[in-house]
Amino acid sequence: MDPARRAMIEGHRSSGPRDRDITSPRRDPNNRITKPTHQRPARLAAESKPTHGNYLSQDDLSRQFVADEDKFVLKQSKRKADIRVREGRAKPIDFLAFNLRFIDAGRDPFDDEDGDPSIQVPSPEDILKHLSEAQLKELDEDIKSYQVLETNATNKEYWKALLALSNDRRQKLNPRGPEGRAVNSVASDIDKILEPKTYEQLEALEKQIRAKLRSDEPIDTDYWEELLKSLLVWKAKAQLKKIYNSITDARLHLLQQQNPELADVVATGQGSTNTAAASSSGDKAPATDSVVKQPGSTAPAASASASVAPANTRFAQIATEDFSQTTKALYEREVARGIGENEEIFAAEEADPSAAKPKWADKYRPRKPRYFNRVQMGYEWNKYNQTHYDHDNPPPKVVQGYKFNIFYPDLIDKTKAPTYKIIREHGRRRGETFAPAGEEDTCLIRFIAGPPYEDIAFRIVDREWDYSAKKDRGFKSSFDKGILQLHFQFKKIYYRK
């Protein structure tokens, strides 16, 4: 045998096991079924490997849906509060939410209007100070709704401080038995200790008090617990004051960009308004919520704050306002009548551009009459609303009427009753409409009296009045015992099938 062939056969026999089974499929790098011979990079292998992290589980989807829904509800609540403040029919919670808008980082800038910085509303403490126990209870529920929905840390601290002050105010209005009266007798001494301290000092004092209560020392537990309770209230006041100062600074900054002269007036007038009101009335300075109006602006000249202080304050603080004791008595008697279920406070006062200086101004000092007005809101169940809404999901409320109560107790000529006049701008006549689709025309209703009272005007919806004598929807126009009453509702339009 050829030596070369023998060496080849012997070498084949001495080799180890075969590297490949002859019955296995042949590896072909161009065949997509077989695996590649080279090793893929670890990063590419990890990216191509299907993992559950790329997909949201059902629980994650549910949590995300709830979060998005809460965000939408919060945004809508803030938007509604802004609208009510601008239209002069705000509730206490609307003023508190409107104050927060100037430092709200998550706010949509498209919801802002140029005239918003010029609207001056009461400070949070002034709002709480003039509410009754029932109003504070309702406000607590509204604050809790905002607090649950808020995600911004500063906003949550704002609502938390307000809730603490509201609860403290309710307890002061309703002390429970002799124990509550005894606590009130000590509270004044405790307030003298805590009032001058800063927020940081109150925090340090809180730690010391809690450590003392946890210790085994023989102490007066009731006193230290009451001190801790009052400290938490003053701590909330300090936190609220800090946030409100930043709100005021942000508002003045925006106003400075729009109208520097007006910003200077607002900055200098903030500290002196309450003092001026107190000196003119002889009573405690009422909460100020007038609207500072820019030249040429059409923003309302007063904000609806009667719901803030319905018992002893006025919606628009003006230097020439009537503060006589007779007017005050008439006003408080009307406030005591309360507000109906479908009524809201109305104070959309505006300056009448056609009004001139009265001829008797040199003889008598002009006064701005006081008023307590209500706007009646309700649902309109027309064909469209019946199709798209139901009683569980009602349509938006619309204005259905007004109740004007204006006080003129000191008229010089009592034989001439005050009157009113409807003013339609831009040449529009009765029955004509210039408003775009989905909106309603408005007009001015101007109340005219003799000396010493100035004329006063309000912006209302311009629709046809119902002059019927029905008890609930009847028309009333009278002047008796110094009160001009004008109550009316709009006609309901019924469509035949």
Q: How far apart are CA 307 and CA 374, in angstroms?
A: 11
DSSP 205: H
Compare 280 and 380 and report the one with higher pLDDT: 380
E strand or H helix that includes residue 150? none
- Cβ neighbors of 135 (< 8 A, separation 6 or more) are 92, 307
Q: How far apart are CA 148 and CA 129, in angstroms?
A: 24
- The residue-averaged pLDDT of 377-403 equals 87
- Residue 332 CB: number of other CB atoms within 10 A? 13
What pLDDT was estimated at residue 494? 61
Predicted structure pTM score? 0.45
Cα 327 to the center of its chain, rounded Å:
31
Q: How far apart are CA 369 and CA 348, in angstroms?
A: 14
CA distances from 115 to 91, 262, 268, 296 (A): 20, 12, 19, 11
* Angle, CA 123 vertex, CA 120 and CA 127 arms, to 5°: 110
Compare 6 and 277 and report the one with higher pLDDT: 6
446 closest CA partner among 484, 401, 394, 491: 484
Residues 29-55 have pLDDT tens digits of 665 555 555 555 665 555 555 555 556
- Tokens 């802002």 belong to 112
85 closest CA partner among 353, 427, 344, 381: 344
Residues 301-346 have pLDDT tens digits of 333 333 333 333 333 344 455 556 778 778 888 887 777 778 888 8
Q: How far apart are CA 247 and CA 117, in angstroms?
A: 11
- The residue-averaged pLDDT of 350-372 equals 82
Maximum C-alpha span of the chain = 151
What pLDDT was estimated at residue 436? 73
Cα 124 to the center of its chain, rounded Å:
11
Compare 266 and 425 and report the one with higher pLDDT: 425
56-65, 119-128, 192-201: range with lowest mean pLDDT: 56-65
Q: How far apart are CA 435 and CA 415, in angstroms?
A: 40
- Cβ neighbors of 177 (< 8 A, separation 6 or more) are none
Cα 241 to the center of its chain, rounded Å:
18
Q: What percent of the chain has pLDDT over 70?
A: 72
What pLDDT was estimated at residue 309? 36
b/e 143-176 (16+ beta carbons within 10 angstroms → b):
beebbebbeeeebebbbbbbbbbbebbbbeeeee
Q: Which of 65-69, 100-104, 443-447, 490-494 has the highest mean pLDDT?
A: 443-447
- The residue-averaged pLDDT of 353-373 equals 83
Task: Name the CA dihedral angle for 55, 57, 58, 63, rounded to a multiple of 10 degrees.
Answer: -100
178-192, 204-218, 276-290, 470-484: range with lowest mean pLDDT: 276-290
Residue 455: both structure tokens together: 């004329």
Residues 438-491 have pLDDT tens digits of 677 888 999 999 888 989 999 999 988 888 766 666 788 899 888 999 999 888
229 closest CA partner among 210, 204, 243: 210
Q: How far apart are CA 452 and CA 471, in angstroms?
A: 34
- Tokens 């007006």 belong to 262
Cis ω for the linkage preceding 369 (within 30 of 0): no
- Tokens 């619309």 belong to 398
CA atoms within 13 A on the CB side of 44: 3
What pLDDT was estimated at residue 368? 87
122-131, 178-187, 232-241: range with lowest mean pLDDT: 178-187
- The residue-averaged pLDDT of 213-217 equals 83
Q: How far apart are CA 64 and CA 217, in angstroms?
A: 51
What pLDDT was estimated at residue 410? 86
What pLDDT was estimated at residue 472? 61
Q: By the 8 A CB rule, do 311 and 130 touch?
A: yes
| Mean of pLDDT over the chain | 75
DSSP 444: E
What pLDDT was estimated at residue 122? 82
Compare 294 and 480 and report the one with higher pLDDT: 480
- Cβ neighbors of 213 (< 8 A, separation 6 or more) are 219, 221, 224, 225, 228
- Cβ neighbors of 314 (< 8 A, separation 6 or more) are 286, 321, 331, 370
Q: By the 8 A CB rule, do 212 and 176 touch?
A: no
What pLDDT was estimated at residue 445? 92
Q: By the 8 A CB rule, do 319 and 363 touch?
A: no
What pLDDT was estimated at residue 357? 79
